[in-house]
Amino acid sequence: MITDKLREQTRPQHESIESAAPFKVLMSPELTIEQYAQIISFWYSYVKPCEELIRSNQTMAEAIPDIEARYKDSLLENDLNNLGIQPDTLPASTITPPLHHTTDMLGFIYVMEGSSMGAQLIVHKLKEHSWYNEGITNFYAGYKKENGKMWSAFKKQLLALELSDAEEAQVVESAKQTFTTLEQWMNLQGQQQMSLPAL
Ligand code: HEM
């Protein structure tokens, strides 16, 4: 099953990204609101150009009928505005996954949707900070109480596509590339803007 293949075959990439320096900072009890704002900015720079490409692909709207509800850009824009950052002043990431085919885009969306599952743990951590408020954690809160429901619905849509083995392999490859490029972008931004050490 494609959903099992994705979880199993991207496990090393997931483990790697969890220990990337900016995500360690994100989970630290010492996290400041300024560092949090930087991490949200890095996310936006990465997600925005990718979602723009996917929005322009009609096949994706057919493959994933509720795709509109799944884009993360407006959640990130709300967080940025409430953090006092104008989203349109942020640069687009120079490191993105190749998103040429529908199978590539499905891999990207899998990673973004799955990240909402782990994000529940992250929100729990964020709530411990004195500066926490709901207005700046829209992205990490995701679908809130509907996270589990939206995740199951996404997996059902993926399975309903009845992809061939070759197509499934392309989706998995793209998911790996999404993890890797996101990690590279986060690390680069962390080094340049947060003075985090290179791994
Ligand atoms: C500090 C960072 C992170 C932590 C602690 C974390 C933690 C977790 C946890 C606990 C789950 C399992 C949730 C469940 O099944 O109920 C999960 C799933 C997942 N996470 Fe993360 N995560 C982190 C970062 C990320 C990032 C940055 C991404 C990608 C953008 C990501 C993508 C995923 C995906 C795709 C799944 C679903 C795996 C599957 O069942 O197919 N995670 N994460």
| Residue 138: pLDDT over 80 | yes
CA distance 32 to 141: 18
List the domain range (segments joined by +) for residue 153: 2-24+33-193
Tens digit of each residue's pLDDT (9 = 90 or more) over 10-43 = 999 999 999 999 999 999 999 999 999 999 999 9
The residue whose CB lies within 8 Å of the most ligand 1 atoms, and thus the one to mutate among 14, 18, 116, 177, is 14
Type of residue found at 151: W
C-alpha 92 to ligand 1 mean position (Å): 24
Residue 198 is assigned to a structural domain of this protein: no
Task: Give residue 197's pLDDT band: very low, low, confident or very high (50, 70, 90).
Answer: confident
Q: Is 55 in the pocket of ligand 1 (CB under 6 A)?
A: no
Residue 132 is assigned to a structural domain of this protein: yes
Task: Please give the average per-residue pLDDT across 52-71, as a whole number.
Answer: 96
C-alpha 146 to ligand 1 mean position (Å): 16
Residue 142 is assigned to a structural domain of this protein: yes
Q: Which residues 6+ apart lie within 8 Å of 76 measured at CB?
A: 40, 43, 44, 47, 48, 87, 138, 139
Number of domains in the chain: 1
- Give the residue from 16, 45, 20 showing the smallest Cα distance to 190: 20
Q: Is 160 in the pocket of ligand 1 (CB under 6 A)?
A: no
Residue 199 is assigned to a structural domain of this protein: no
Exposure of 77 in the CB half-sphere (CA atoms within 13 A): 8
- Which spans in the chain are helix H? 2-9, 11-18, 21-27, 33-55, 58-63, 67-70, 73-82, 102-126, 138-141, 147-160, 165-193
| Residue 58: pLDDT over 90 | yes
Q: Is 5 in the pocket of ligand 1 (CB under 6 A)?
A: no
Six token digits for residue 195: 């003075």
Q: Is 109 in the pocket of ligand 1 (CB under 6 A)?
A: no
Task: Give residue 63's pLDDT band: very low, low, confident or very high (50, 70, 90).
Answer: very high
| Residue 199: pLDDT over 70 | no
Q: Is 114 in the pocket of ligand 1 (CB under 6 A)?
A: yes
Residue 176 is assigned to a structural domain of this protein: yes
Q: What percent of the chain has pLDDT over 70?
A: 99
The residue whose CB lies within 8 Å of the most ligand 1 atoms, and thus the one to mutate among 10, 11, 18, 152, is 18
Q: Is 182 in the pocket of ligand 1 (CB under 6 A)?
A: yes
Q: What percent of the chain has pLDDT over 90?
A: 97
For 69, 152, 154, 155, 175, the CA distances from 159, given in Å and listed in that order, are: 19, 11, 9, 6, 16
- Give the residue from 38, 188, 174 showing the smallest Cα distance to 112: 174
Residue 96 is assigned to a structural domain of this protein: yes
Residue 19 is assigned to a structural domain of this protein: yes
Closest residue to atom 4 of ligand 1, CA basis:
118
Tens digit of each residue's pLDDT (9 = 90 or more) over 82-114 = 999 999 999 999 999 999 999 999 999 999 999
C-alpha 117 to ligand 1 mean position (Å): 6
Question: What CATH number has the domain bearing residue 148?
Answer: 1.20.910.10
Residue 126 is assigned to a structural domain of this protein: yes
